[in-house]
Structure 1
Amino acid sequence: MDDALRSSSNLSRKVVSVAAGEAHTLALTGDGCVYSWGRGMFGRLGIGSEADALFPVQVKCDICSESEEKRLKFVGIAAGAYHSMALAENAVVPRMMEHFLGLTSFDSVTNGSETKREAPLKACSVKAGGMMSLAIDNLGTLWIWGNCPQQSSSSGESGFSLVSSFTPIPVWDFHGHTVVKVACGNEHVVALVTVGETYEGEDLVCYSWGNNNHGQLGLGDRESRIHPEIVETFNQHSPWAIYEVACGAFHTALLTHKKRPNEKLESTCWTFGLGENGQLGHGTSQSALKPEPVNELPQDAYLVSVDCGLFHTGVVSSAGDVWSWGMEKGLGLCPDARFTGTDAGDALSPLRITGPQEPRFHDPVQVVCGAAHTVLVANDGYKLWSWGRGRSGVLGTGQTIDFFAPTAVMWPPLADDFKDQGLNNVTKDDNLESKESEEVAEIEKRLSSAMEEMKLLQSKLSMMERYAGILHGSIFGKPFTEEDIPSSLRDSGTFDIAKEWEDMLESADRSKLIRLELFYRNMLSGVKDKHMKRRIQEIIKECVPSTQGK
Structure 2
Amino acid sequence: MRDRSRVLRLGGVLAGLAAVLSVPVPGASAAGPRGCAGGALAVAAGDSHSLALMGDGTVRAWGSNSDGQLGDGSRTDSGLPVQVRGLSEVRAVAAGLHHSLALLADGTVRAWGNNSDGQLGDGTATSSTVPVQVTGLTGVRAVTGGNEHSLAVLKDGTVWAWGGNGSGELGNGTDTDSNVPVQAAGITTARGVAAGENHSLAFLRDGTVRAWGLNSSGRLGDGSTLDSDMPVQTTGITTARGVAAAGDFSLALLKNGTVRTWGGNTSGQLGNGTFLTGDVPVQVLDVRRAKDVAAGGRHSLALVKDGAVRAWGRNSSGELGNGTATLSNVPVEAVGIRRAKDVAAGGRHSLALLENGTVRAWGSNSLGRLGNGTAADSAVPVQVAGIPGCRGHGEPVPSPGGRDHDDRRALPGALKHGAAPVR
- TM-score above 0.5, yes or no: yes
Following TM superposition, by how much is the alpha carbon of 1:391 offset from its aligned partner in structure 2, in angstroms?
Answer: 1.2
User: Does the CA-based 8 Å contact 1:32-1:73 persist in structure 2?
Assistant: yes
Aligned partners of 1:21, 1:374: CA distance in 2, in Å? Answer: 10
Cα deviation code 1:334-359 (max 9, x no counterpart): xxxxx9xxx6642111111121xxxx
Query: What residue number does 2:268 align with?
Result: 278
Q: How does 1:136-155 map to 2 (within 5 A)?
A: 136-148=153-165
Query: What residue number does 2:189 align with?
Result: 178
Query: What residue number does 1:212 align with?
Result: 215
Following TM superposition, by how much is the alpha carbon of 1:11 offset from its aligned partner in structure 2, in angstroms?
Answer: 3.1
Note if 1:125 corresponds to 2:125.
no
Cα deviation code 1:491-524 (max 9, x no counterpart): xxxxxxxxxxxxxxxxxxxxxxxxxxxxxxxxxx
Query: What residue number does 2:304 align with?
Result: 317
User: Does the CA-based 8 Å contact 1:150-1:162 persist in structure 2?
Assistant: yes
Which residue among 359, 370, 377 is the counterpart of 1:384?
Answer: 359
User: Does the CA-based 8 Å contact 1:183-1:245 persist in structure 2?
Assistant: yes
Which residue among 353, 358, 371 is the counterpart of 2:347?
Answer: 371
3-state SS of paired residue (2:216): coil
Q: How does 1:49-64 map to 2 (within 5 A)?
A: 49-61=74-86
3-state SS of paired residue (2:380): strand
Following TM superposition, by how much is the alpha carbon of 1:128 offset from its aligned partner in structure 2, in angstroms?
Answer: 0.5
Cα deviation code 1:35-57 (max 9, x no counterpart): 10111111000001011111111
Following TM superposition, by how much is the alpha carbon of 1:150 offset from its aligned partner in structure 2, in angstroms?
Answer: 6.0
Aligned partners of 2:261, 2:357: CA distance in 1, in Å? Answer: 30
Following TM superposition, by how much is the alpha carbon of 1:189 offset from its aligned partner in structure 2, in angstroms?
Answer: 0.7
Equivalent residue letter for 2:230: H
Equivalent residue letter for 1:256: L
Aligned partners of 1:93, 1:35: CA distance in 2, in Å? Answer: 17
Unaligned runs of 5+ in 2: 1-31, 111-136, 398-402, 410-423
Which residue among 71, 92, 95 is the counterpart of 1:46?
Answer: 71
Note if 1:73 corresponds to 2:71.
no
The share of aligned pairs that are identical, in percent, is 29
Cα deviation code 1:1-41 (max 9, x no counterpart): xxxxxx99943223222110010001112321111011111
Note if 1:242 corresponds to 2:234.
no
Aligned partners of 1:149, 1:255: CA distance in 2, in Å? Answer: 28
Aligned partners of 1:141, 1:124: CA distance in 2, in Å? Answer: 10
TM-score by length of 2: 0.73
Equivalent residue letter for 1:320: G
Following TM superposition, by how much is the alpha carbon of 1:131 offset from its aligned partner in structure 2, in angstroms?
Answer: 0.8
Cα deviation code 1:184-203 (max 9, x no counterpart): 10111110112xxxxxxxx2
Unaligned runs of 5+ in 1: 1-6, 63-71, 95-119, 153-159, 195-202, 259-266, 334-338, 425-446, 457-550
Higher helix share: 1
Cα deviation code 1:382-433 (max 9, x no counterpart): 121110001111101111110011111114269x99xx98x99xxxxxxxxx
Aligned partners of 1:322, 1:164: CA distance in 2, in Å? Answer: 37
Equivalent residue letter for 2:95: A
Query: What residue number does 2:234 align with?
Result: 231
User: Does the CA-based 8 Å contact 1:324-1:330 persist in structure 2?
Assistant: no
Higher strand share: 2
User: Does the CA-based 8 Å contact 2:350-2:362 persist in structure 1?
Assistant: yes
Following TM superposition, by how much is the alpha carbon of 1:60 offset from its aligned partner in structure 2, in angstroms?
Answer: 2.1
Q: How does 1:301-316 map to 2 (within 5 A)?
A: 301-316=288-303
3-state SS of paired residue (1:316): strand
Cα deviation code 1:415-469 (max 9, x no counterpart): x99xx98x99xxxxxxxxxxxxxxxxxxxxxx99x86xx449xxxxxxxxxxxxx
CA RMSD of aligned residues (A): 3.1
User: Does the CA-based 8 Å contact 2:319-2:379 persist in structure 1?
Assistant: no
Rg larger in structure: 1
Query: What residue number does 1:16 align with?
Result: 41
Query: What residue number does 1:68 align with?
Result: none
Note if 1:188 corresponds to 2:236.
no
Count of matched residue positions in the alignment of Structure 1 and Structure 2:
340
Aligned partners of 2:79, 2:234: CA distance in 1, in Å? Answer: 41
3-state SS of paired residue (1:392): helix
User: Does the CA-based 8 Å contact 1:121-1:138 persist in structure 2?
Assistant: no
3-state SS of paired residue (2:101): strand
**Change over 3 Å in CA distance of 1:344–1:50 after alignment to 2:** closer
Aligned partners of 2:233, 2:49: CA distance in 1, in Å? Answer: 33
**Change over 3 Å in CA distance of 1:331–1:273 after alignment to 2:** farther
**Change over 3 Å in CA distance of 1:149–1:193 after alignment to 2:** farther
TM-score by length of 1: 0.57
Aligned partners of 2:218, 2:293: CA distance in 1, in Å? Answer: 19
Query: What residue number does 1:294 align with?
Result: 284
User: Does the CA-based 8 Å contact 1:387-1:402 persist in structure 2?
Assistant: yes
Aligned partners of 1:8, 1:211: CA distance in 2, in Å? Answer: 36
